[in-house]
Structure 1
């Protein structure tokens, strides 16, 4: 009966992972920024098995030693706490420092805890590439080397955080081993009413936020598959290195068509076709009027199609991915339930 520490317990992926760990009989110790507002994490303590096997502990990403108490006596750690926002006022302070220093602080706490055997870090495809190239099939060997504090700063934070984790393993040589899960855009039903950044893409399409159908191709993955990937990375002895975690790609036009078929009340789906050469030029020019992170994302992704090889995660962990069309439908139904979109 192992005890697993999950950092950032209230997060979209982390909460699904905790639910799965409890369902499989694990004891879970989740970290939260504050215990002062029990209502903020009541959805976790209400999970089946939580009363007997879930403990919440305060910890702060930027405070060295803050995770010592949470990790003490744990057999493994899932480090999932990291900011996820596309545009911020100060990329260094708001994105890079929490991601990088937080990762190092967690690993240092793990190194001080003799019981920890494995750490699984939630990285991202953002650490693999920030400008997809259809002529290149991405694998675990690829790294994002183009992002910076001004170009796709969120992507930069994820790449720097994962690099810091592998550098720690190389220089400190701790007793535990490290596995990284690199999901693409994570969507699906949520355990809370909070609208996460990835599902907000679908909500924005439904609510008419986009000026038209852009030449964007997304790699989506279901949050339930990502949660399972983390648990399998704990349970599979031979798991090692990085794992790309993504379902099939889908264009914005295909997503809009699928959403139209769901007949969401009050939907204002885009119809203007900007997914062509002229439209892409117009969108890239318009991108300079957008917040920094959004603008750089559009300039580096419009007109580009990501290709990637997920055979390693399927082979090593035995993971198979849900049909992304079902994930989109489930996500929209769930957002309707929480009141983010119409019925």
Structure 2
């Protein structure tokens, strides 16, 4: 069994990953921002195997030597901590710096730790593209080159962080090898009561926040599949490079249809059809009245459908993806349990 460090241990994907690592018998050292409130981490320390094989330590993405203690003695490090919000007051300070400098601080700590042999970084499809083109079949060779501090700043932060990771490995030639997992929109049951950004898409549809059914097509993937991808990347000796991690594509109209069939109490699903040329034009015009990150996302995604090839992750890591429609059903059941919907 291995000793594996996981940064951002309380995160949506990270917490599921830790549960799988403990189930597999690994020893895990997870980083959190603060240990001052043990109740905030009780869902982790209460996992099966946690009492014997989970240690939590404090770490700060922007503190240069903050991760040294976490990675010491580990043979594998999963860097999963990074901010995920669409709109911020200062994109450089709130998104890019934590993503890029945090990644570099973790990699430098790993380079100083002679035991580390593999680092797996949670990247994103945001590092692959920020404006899907149905004529392009996306693979691990594609890179997002269009995002900036003002255009899809979250996407920019993920692309810059992953570029920084590969540049570090190429330039420093550390003893470890690097693997990145690039998931699309991650949904599914949560181990914590906090509503994450991806599941909020479904909660917002149910609560009436959308003016109509917009021509948006999402690539979605179940959090349990993404967690397994990280575990497989840690355990598979031949894993290498980038891995697109995405299940089915699904349109907003399809998601609304699934949600309508669930008959969630108090639901206010959109019914006005705006998934047409006129509706898309209106959405693009309305996008300029939205917060910056939301506005640029709408302008670059409305009317566009992503296409991607997940052959590599299926072949190398033996991963298969859950039916995303069932994942939507599971997500709603879980959000109902936590009180996010159905009130």
Which residue matches 1:191? 191
Which residue matches 1:163? 163
SS in 1 for 2:82: coil
Distance 1:211 1:153 in 2: 24
Deviation at 1:79, TM superposition (A): 0.1
SS in 2 for 1:85: coil
Give the gaps of 5 or more residues in structure 2: none
SS in 1 for 2:51: helix
Cα displacement string for residues 230-253 of structure 1 (whole angstroms, at most 9, x for unaligned residues): 000011111000000000100000
Which residue matches 1:285? 285
Give the gaps of 5 or more residues in structure 1: none
Cα displacement string for residues 160-191 of structure 1 (whole angstroms, at most 9, x for unaligned residues): 00000000000000000000000000000000
Question: Number of paired residues?
Answer: 343
Which residue matches 1:325? 325
Which residue matches 1:104? 104
C-alpha RMSD over aligned residues: 0.5
Distance 1:324 1:17 in 2: 19
TM-score computed with the length of structure 1 as normaliser? 1.00
Which residue matches 2:227? 227
Distance 1:279 1:124 in 2: 29
Which residue matches 2:244? 244
Which residue matches 1:38? 38
1:341 aligns with 2:311: no
Which residue matches 1:149? 149
Deviation at 1:39, TM superposition (A): 1.0
Alignment map for 1:50-61 (pairs within 5 Å): 50-61=50-61
Distance 2:126 2:53 in 1: 33
Deviation at 1:2, TM superposition (A): 1.1
Deviation at 1:63, TM superposition (A): 0.4
Distance 2:233 2:338 in 1: 31
TM-score computed with the length of structure 2 as normaliser? 1.00
Runs of 4+ in structure 1 off by over 2 angstroms are none
Which residue matches 2:314? 314
Deviation at 1:28, TM superposition (A): 0.3
